[in-house]
Amino acid sequence: MHLAAGGQVVLGEKRPGDAVLPPDLTADLRQWGAVAASIRGIEVRPEQQDIVSRRGRQLAGRVSDVLGRPVEYVDPLTGGVDLVHGRTTEPIPLVPPHPEEPTPWATGLVVAAFFAVLAAIGDITLSRAFGEAFGLLWIPANVLVVGGLAPSLWLIRRLPFWRWIGLGTAVGLGVAWVVLLLGQFL
């Protein structure tokens, strides 16, 4: 794919079985050819050259997608030649950035137990104080506390260290609810 005189884009040899370019791609090639021809031979900033060259490579990639084969792209401003391949149709394999480490169950469960006790004691203490002052309004207040913490606890569930704190806090809040409800209604 190169730029001929007058801004005409020439795709090179036509092979049997090559697909016809869609009208929008043809229009984009004409527009790019006109812009590239208008700035060829005049002094332009490097950023402008880069934009025209990058757009030409993008269009060569689209042409390659339609034709199903690599396209040779000749940069109209620098004269550089690139072999442009279209997008791959296969999914990009996801490789883990580093190997998974073993789960530190002993340390994690100790941290979770500590935060479970801390959350349970804190929630029970505050709910009882709120209940003495305002009666059964401790229930909606506690629902708001749990509802406010739930999104944060859900988000940290996959972080290596923070998942233990989230697990402990969730268990502590659950235990606090059981203790508070048993204390209220028994």
CA distance 33 to 5: 10
Q: pLDDT tens digits for 126-138?
A: 999 999 999 999 9
Q: Token pair for residue 31?
A: 């527009």
- The answer to whether residue 63 scores a pLDDT higher than 90 is no
Q: Which residues contact 76 (CB under 8 A, 6 or more apart)?
A: 2, 3, 36, 37, 40, 52, 56
Q: pLDDT tens digits for 82-105?
A: 888 877 555 555 666 666 778 899
Question: Inter-axis angle of helices 162-185 and 105-134, to 10 degrees?
Answer: 40
pLDDT at 122: 96
- The answer to whether residue 117 scores a pLDDT higher than 80 is yes
Q: pLDDT tens digits for 158-174?
A: 898 899 999 999 999 99
CA 9 to chain CA mean position, Å: 36
Write down the domain spans for the chain. 2-84, 105-185
Mean pLDDT for all residues in the chain: 85
Comparing 71 with 141, the larger pLDDT belongs to 141
Q: Is 93 helix (H, G, I), strand (E, B) or coil?
A: coil
Q: Token pair for residue 24?
A: 């929008």
This prediction's pTM: 0.48
The amino acid occupying position 3 is L
Q: Which of 184, 50, 70, 77 is nearest to 130 (CA)?
A: 184
Residue 41, by phi and psi: left (phi above 0), alpha (psi -120 to 50) or beta?
A: left
The amino acid occupying position 152 is S
- Count of CB atoms situated within 10 Å of the CB of 114: 14
Q: Which of 109, 100, 120, 102 is nearest to 165 (CA)?
A: 109
CA distance 160 to 89: 34
Name the β-bridge partners of 82: 73
